[in-house]
């Protein structure tokens, strides 16, 4: 068999590109570019790749017995070259995190942490079959492809270009405290799925700029707002570290149309991923509950939103502050708890946990875990989950002061500056 012809024929088969990472006996990271990766079995969860007999990484993976498959995104061509070049110091300035005893590369499309299950001889290669132990994936990023010996990307459709443009526009509007025209007026065919895609695009930009995901919020939980937006369920957005403030909250120059709402925050100790998450599962996975203010803000001018506008705009989230007290998840019946809000010393509003749809604050968090599950995302330990407004939204400006109190839980005060 002419090996050149065989290579050329096999090169017609387009693949993605991975970097297989592991650690050697001295604890040093190793990594190698591999496109022979493929799925084998769903149950048990098995994958495979093949490594040349003379690849330095082969004995390392075999000895350590564990490795990670890092699936490269379209922006990671340089990583593919780096981990395929023998003479390079592949890890010199390369950031990585340790997960399950192996190094994982940041900003990849997916990570699969695996244990070596079998090593099978395959001619001048060895086929390594791994059992997947943990994984994560990015539901929106695009892959780096390899075809006929060249790097390729997916062709971008007009639809995808439009999603990217809206993510960029809204991200810039958040950074510059500007408003935009409703997306639904400019793109009447926009679907809820498109809107979530745009929101994820904003999150990806925030993370690329160094912001850290610290939690998620459920929005549109009140019956009145659901009726106004003509939906029968809540929506969700993402919380990053820069969105959490102390009792003094700077809104001028940060939020353009701030509205404050009191709600319950669930601080998680265990991972929750749908489908099948129940309100009781939420309580079981919760470390503590706190009262909080979420200050929402719409980047859409005059809050002229339809459901797709607010979903695309990260569920209109702005900033949030947690009260100092914490309650155990079973400290009270959260649907019966009553919140009282004062503004500038005067009583303003009150509400109960039963004012949220679907049913109770913990049911809203369960809805979120189940909905995010379909996007490949989980609620992670340590995350703060805002479960939805318990009182009507109140416009606020610098100089206002608000307090929300829940009997038996405590209070949260905020001064807007
Ligand atoms: C796109 C691409 C895909 C590759 N796929 C594989 C592969 O599946 N198996 C393999 O053994 N080498 C593959 N290589 C080559 C290795 O990355 C390369 O030989 C590397 O230097 C081996 O490193 P090591 O000796 O440190 O293990 C690939 C290279 C590129 C650029």
CA of 32 to the centre of ligand 1 (A): 6
Mean per-residue pLDDT for 104-119?
96
Backbone angles phi, psi at 64, to 5 degrees: -75, -30
Identify the CA nearest to 279 among candidates 358, 349, 214: 358
Indicate the top mutation candidate among 30, 32, 80, 152 to test ligand 1's pocket, ranked by most ligand atoms within 8 A of CB: 32
Domains and CATH numbers, the chain: 3-152 (2.30.110.10), 158-416 (3.90.850.10)
Helix 158-176 with 192-208: angle, nearest 10 deg: 50
* Best residue among 34, 37, 58, 119 to mutate for probing ligand 1, ranked by most atoms within 8 Å of CB: 34
Nearest protein Cα to ligand 1, atom 22: 55
* Ligand 1: centre distance to CA 18 (Å): 10
Contact 261, 391 (CB under 8 A): yes
**CA 324 to ligand 1 center in whole angstroms:** 53
Confidence of residue 407 (pLDDT cuts 50, 70, 90): confident
Residues within a 6 A CB radius of ligand 1: 17, 32-36, 49-52, 55-57, 80, 84, 86, 146
Chain segment 256-309, per-residue pLDDT in tens:
999 999 999 999 999 999 999 999 999 999 999 999 999 999 999 999 999 999
pLDDT at 190 exceeding the cut of 80 = yes
Atom of ligand 1 nearest to the CA of 34: 5
Whether pLDDT at 140 is above 80: no
Which band of pLDDT confidence, cut at 50, 70 and 90, is reported for residue 76? very high
130: Cα within 13 Å, side-chain hemisphere: 27
The pLDDT confidence band at residue 404, using thresholds 50, 70 and 90, is very high
Averaged pLDDT for residues 217-224: 89
36 Cα nearest atom in ligand 1: 8
* CA proximity to 141, closest of 209, 222, 200, 57: 200
Helix or strand holding residue 206 (H, E): helix 192-208
Burial of 236 (0-12, 13-18, 19+ CB in 10 A): buried
Per-residue confidence (pLDDT) for residue 138, from 0 to 100:
84
């Amino acid at each position: 068999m002419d090996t050149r012809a065989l290579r050329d024929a096999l090169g017609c088969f387009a693949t993605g590109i991975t970097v297989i990472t592991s650690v050697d006996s001295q604890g040093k990271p190793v990594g190698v570019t591999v496109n022979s990766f493929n799925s084998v079995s769903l149950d048990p969860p098995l994958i495979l790749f093949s490594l040349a007999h003379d690849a330095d990484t082969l004995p390392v993976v075999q000895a350590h017995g564990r490795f990670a498959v890092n699936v490269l995104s379209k922006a990671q061509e340089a990583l593919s070259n780096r981990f395929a070049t023998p003479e390079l110091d592949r890890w010199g300035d390369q950031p990585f995190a340790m997960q399950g005893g192996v190094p994982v590369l940041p900003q990849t499309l997916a990570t699969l942490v695996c244990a070596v299950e079998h090593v099978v001889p395959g001619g001048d290669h060895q086929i390594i079959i791994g059992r997947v132990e943990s994984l994560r994936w990015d539901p929106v990023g695009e892959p780096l492809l390899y075809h006929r010996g060249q790097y390729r990307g997916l062709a971008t459709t007009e639809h995808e270009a439009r999603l990217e443009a809206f993510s960029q526009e809204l991200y810039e509007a958040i950074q510059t405290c500007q408003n935009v025209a409703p997306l639904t007026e400019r793109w009447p065919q926009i679907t809820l799925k498109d809107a979530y895609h745009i929101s994820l695009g904003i999150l990806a930009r925030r993370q690329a700029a160094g912001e850290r995901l610290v939690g998620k919020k459920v929005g549109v939980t009140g019956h009145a707002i659901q009726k106004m937006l003509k939906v029968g369920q809540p929506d969700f957005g993402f919380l990053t570290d820069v969105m959490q403030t102390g009792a003094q909250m700077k809104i001028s120059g940060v939020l353009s149309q701030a509205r404050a709402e009191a709600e319950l925050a669930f601080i998680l100790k265990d991972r929750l991923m749908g489908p099948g998450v129940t309100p009781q599962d939420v309580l079981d996975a919760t470390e503590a509950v706190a009262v909080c203010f979420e200050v929402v803000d719409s980047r859409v001018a005059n809050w002229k939103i339809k459901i797709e506008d607010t979903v695309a705009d990260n569920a209109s989230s702005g900033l949030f502050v947690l009260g100092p007290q914490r309650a155990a998840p079973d400290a009270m019946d959260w649907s019966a708890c009553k919140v009282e809000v004062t503004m500038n010393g005067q009583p303003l509003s009150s509400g109960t946990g039963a004012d949220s749809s679907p049913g109770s604050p913990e049911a809203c968090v369960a809805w979120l875990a189940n909905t995010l599950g379909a996007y490949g995302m989980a609620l992670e330990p340590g995350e703060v989950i805002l479960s939805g407004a318990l009182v009507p939204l109140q416009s606020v400006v610098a100089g206002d002061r608000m307090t929300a109190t829940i009997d038996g839980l405590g209070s949260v005060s905020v001064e807007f500056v």
